Each structure stands twice: as C-alpha cells, then as structure tokens.
C-alpha cells in the first residue's frame, strides 16, 4: 500500500510512520464530500432513538439512543472537532464517556452535553482505540480529573505513532509520499498516491498542533469482559480483533445497544491500514456482532447509528473486497497491482473512502498475506 522505501530519516521507521497515518488525516481530502446521512429508515421508528438531537453543533450532534444512553455522531463535512463518533452512558450513580475525539474541544463538547442531562460523577472516559481521531482530545479529560481508560497497548501506540511525528520535519516526512505520486505508473496509482499524501499531511498537521495526553487506566484485554454498574445501568466492556489491535467496545446488554468504536464503519469503507489490523479477525468480529440480538442498536465509530442492517452491509463490503482480491490472487496478479485494481461496485459508490492506501489497498495486501502470498 505504501512505498517500502518510506522515511529514511533516523528515528522514524517505516513501521512507525505507517502507524502515524491514522484514519484522521484523510478527512482533509474526503470530509467535504461526506454529508452526514439522516437516520436510516429502520431507526426512525425505533423508540430508543430520539428523532431530534438533544444538541446539534454541526460538527456533531448528540441524540438519545436508549434509557440513559446517548450517541455523539460526527459530521466531518462540518468540521473536525470531534471527527469520530462516541457517546455517554448515564446511570443513577455514575456516567461513562466514550471516546477522546479528535480535539480537546470535542471531548469538552461531549462533557458539556452530559452535564445538561445529569450531574452524576464521571467514572471514566474510554478511548475505544488509540487512533488519533479517538484520542487527541484526551487532554481535556486529563485537565478535568477524568480517568482515561483504554486498551493496555493504547498509550504506547499513541506515543509511537504521534509523539514521534511531532519531532519530524514536514518536508522530510512527506517526501516519500510525494515521490510515490511522481513515480506512479498510471493515473489510478497517481490518484491513490495523492489521496494517501493528503491523509498523511492532515495527520502530520494535527499531531503537531496537539498536546498529547495518554490513557492512565490501562485495561488488560485478557481480563475482559468487564462489567460496570453505573446505577441501574450495566455496561460491559469487551475487546475484539480487527481494526487496530487495541479495539474495545461497550455493550449495554439490557437494552441491546453496542458502542463499537471503529470495529464498525457504518456506510463507509473500513479503514484497514493499521499494522495490527486483521481482515480475518475483523470479519470474525463482525460475525459475532451479526449474531447479537436482531434488535441490537449499534453506535459505530464513523457513520450513522444503525441496526443489524449496518453490520450486514459492512460484511458485504468485506466480502466484495475479498471476492475481487481472491480472483486476482488466483489469476496471479501481483499484490502491488492488485491493491490498486479493486473496483467499487455501484451499490457502494456513495460509501466514503478514506485515502485508498488506508482502506482498500491495505485490505487487499493483508488478504494476500493471509493467503500466503510471497512479498
């Protein structure tokens, strides 16, 4: 997906640089054409979901998604304050915030909104994974005495990915991506390389403009699930493979509501670039989501709230990528070519694609690896 001759600068390995390129920056190139879709038809009649948001700031709106449950849904076409989705759970005794968002302003917005509905103490804020757009606002929580929970590997990965980027010179950091545009063998490859450059540029700018704050409450995934009693509201934290190697979800079993983090992109192509992303693992996780109650409501990491139809759709997207990749694999198409050749079918043509090299390209590369292709 990305030229192996990346970043020659001492101190920044290719591995680290790829990790820098979180799903956040790509928004600089795609956000303008991602209008937030209205609630799906199936949800307009779901009594758990309020039809009118309790607050709408443009960049994000918060709506009720159950009894004491709220979903913060971002609209990246209107700004990057939050960028990812999140939400909060409010019991009689305590509240749990979900996500650190892309900026302290995003975390602050969510906290303020929580305070319009309840004054209970906040038990914690959970980053569902380490990626930029879910953790860059952590500083707000830190400054306000809110414990930040995350997968035990999240803090390290934030440092490895973004702190290192803060010391890099922009021209040097971006040079390999510029080179890929220059060296592209076709218009298609050039367009893909350009979208990747846009993505990395965005991440670089944001990383350098932010004071990073790390989760201070590491969660050992081996000890999950963890059940939390918020007072008449039980939340269960679980970890599943797929998107980032640090993925956590929050389930509310009594109401069949799940906050999925980026294990669900609702009506989007999934972001698969992470070195710890696993396509087979992710598809297994989605299969588990599909086996949950038919009535389950999902608050995705990106895109609109959905029911089981949203899980069925992202599984279809993965099936389509894997189907096209498998044909190329069996026909002996080298992975370098195959990663560019996927054709977006009509039915997914309105699905936002982060930079190609963060979504479809690495999905195909990882599938080839899983199938035993030699590099």
Residue 131 sits in the site that holds Zn ion (CB under 5 A): yes
Task: Centre a 10 Å sphere on the Cβ of residue 165 and count the other Cβ atoms it contains.
Answer: 24
Stretch that binds Zn ion, among 2-10, 249-257, 262-270, 276-284 (CB under 5 A): 262-270
CB of 23 or CB of 286, closer to Zn ion: 23
Length of the chain: 375
CB of 282 or CB of 329, closer to Zn ion: 282
CB of 78 or CB of 131, closer to Zn ion: 131
Min. distance of Cβ 136 from Zn ion in angstroms? 12
CB of 21 or CB of 23, closer to Zn ion: 23
CB of 265 or CB of 368, closer to Zn ion: 265
Both tokens assigned to 303: 């895109």
Min. distance of Cβ 360 from Zn ion in angstroms? 16
Residues 16-55 that bind Zn ion (CB under 5 A): 23
CA distance 203 to 209: 10
Task: Centre a 10 Å sphere on the Cβ of residue 370 and count the other Cβ atoms it contains.
Answer: 14
Residue 240 sits in the site that holds Zn ion (CB under 5 A): no
Burial call 119-144: b when 16+ CB within 10 Å, e when fewer = ebebbbbbbbbbbbbbbbbbbbbbee
CB of 49 or CB of 277, closer to Zn ion: 277
Min. distance of Cβ 314 from Zn ion in angstroms? 14
Min. distance of Cβ 325 from Zn ion in angstroms? 22
Burial call 70-86: b when 16+ CB within 10 Å, e when fewer = bbbbbbbbbbbbbbbbb
CA 44 to centroid of chain Cα atoms: 25
Min. distance of Cβ 131 from Zn ion in angstroms? 4
Residues contacting Zn ion: total by CB under 5 A:
3
DSSP reduced 3-state for 136: coil
Among 99, 127, 196, 262, binds Zn ion (CB under 5 A): 262
Distances from the Cα of 120 to the Cαs of 90, 91, 155, 193, 260, in angstroms?
A: 8, 8, 27, 48, 24
Stretch that binds Zn ion, among 32-40, 102-110, 256-264, 317-325 (CB under 5 A): 256-264
Inter-residue contact 211 to 137 (CB < 8 Å): no
Min. distance of Cβ 127 from Zn ion in angstroms? 10
Residues near Zn ion (CB under 5 A): 23, 131, 262
């Amino acid at each position: 997906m990305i030229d192996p001759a990346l970043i020659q600068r001492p101190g920044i390995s290719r591995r680290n640089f790829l990790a820098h390129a979180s799903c956040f920056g790509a928004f600089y190139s795609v956000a303008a054409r991602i209008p937030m879709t209205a609630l799906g038809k199936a949800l307009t009649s779901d009594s758990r979901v309020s039809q009118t948001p309790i607050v709408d700031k443009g960049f994000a709106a918060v709506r009720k998604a159950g009894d004491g449950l709220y979903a913060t849904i971002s609209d990246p076409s209107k700004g990057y304050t939050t960028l990812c989705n999140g939400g909060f759970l409010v019991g009689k005794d305590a509240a749990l915030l979900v996500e650190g968002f892309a900026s302290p302003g995003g975390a602050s917005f969510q906290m303020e909104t929580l305070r319009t509905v309840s004054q209970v103490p906040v038990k914690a804020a959970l980053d569902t994974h380490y990626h930029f757009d879910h953790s860059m606002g952590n500083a707000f929580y830190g400054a306000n005495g809110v414990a930040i929970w995350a997968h035990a590997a999240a803090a390290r990965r934030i440092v490895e990915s973004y702190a290192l980027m803060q010391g890099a010179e922009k021209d040097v950091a971006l040079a390999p991506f510029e080179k890929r545009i220059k060296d592209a063998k076709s218009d298609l490859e050039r367009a893909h390389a350009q979208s990747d450059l846009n993505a990395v540029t965005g991440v670089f700018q944001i990383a350098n403009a932010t004071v990073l704050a790390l989760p201070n409450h590491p969660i050992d995934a081996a000890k999950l699930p963890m059940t939390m009693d918020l007072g008449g509201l039980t939340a269960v934290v679980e970890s599943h493979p797929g998107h980032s190697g640090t993925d956590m979800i929050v389930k509310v079993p009594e109401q069949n509501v799940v906050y999925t983090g980026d294990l669900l992109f609702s009506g989007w192509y999934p972001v698969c670039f992470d070195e710890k992303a696993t396509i087979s693992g992710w598809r297994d996780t989605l299969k588990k989501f599909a086996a949950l109650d038919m009535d389950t409501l999902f608050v995705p990491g990106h895109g609109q709230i959905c029911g089981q139809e949203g899980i069925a759709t992202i599984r279809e997207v993965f099936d389509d990528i894997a189907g096209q990749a498998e044909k190329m694999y069996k026909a002996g198409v080298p992975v370098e070519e195959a990663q560019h050749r996927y054709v977006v079918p009509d039915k997914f043509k309105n699905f936002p694609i982060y930079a190609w090299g963060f979504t479809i390209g690495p999905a195909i590369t990882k599938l080839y690896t899983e199938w035993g292709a030699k590099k």
